[in-house]
Amino acid sequence: MAKGKKSLKGLGARYGIKIRKQYTKVHLQLKGKRTCPECGSAKFGRVAVGIWSCRKCGFKVAGAAYDVKV
């Protein structure tokens, strides 16, 4: 067993280290907790590519595919 290496589920040992590093970065960005700029709730997330919305107050904003830029 390899020790000390943090692995991310989803890609396994495929595609090479460079792609996996990129994927990990994007994945964490995508799944990371965000707060709604409108009401401050943590229920803010991506509903579709480029569309981010808050499930609490319904605030919707157009952002980038993997990250929101407010």
Q: Which residues bind Zn ion (CB under 5 A)?
A: 36, 38-39, 41, 54, 56-57, 59
Q: Closest separation between CB of residue 48 and Zn ion, Å?
A: 17
| Nearest-angstrom CA–CA distance, 45 and 1 | 35
Nearer to Zn ion, 26 or 39 (CB): 39
Residue 10 or 40: the one with the smaller Cβ distance to Zn ion is: 40
Residue 22 CB, shortest distance to Zn ion, in Å, is 30
CB of 34 to Zn ion, least distance (A): 10
C-beta of residue 22 within 8 angstroms of C-beta of residue 11: no
Q: Which is nearer to Zn ion, 29 or 41 (CB)?
A: 41
Burial letters 13-42, b for 16+ CB under 10 A, else e: eeeeeeebeeeeeebeeeeeebebebeeee
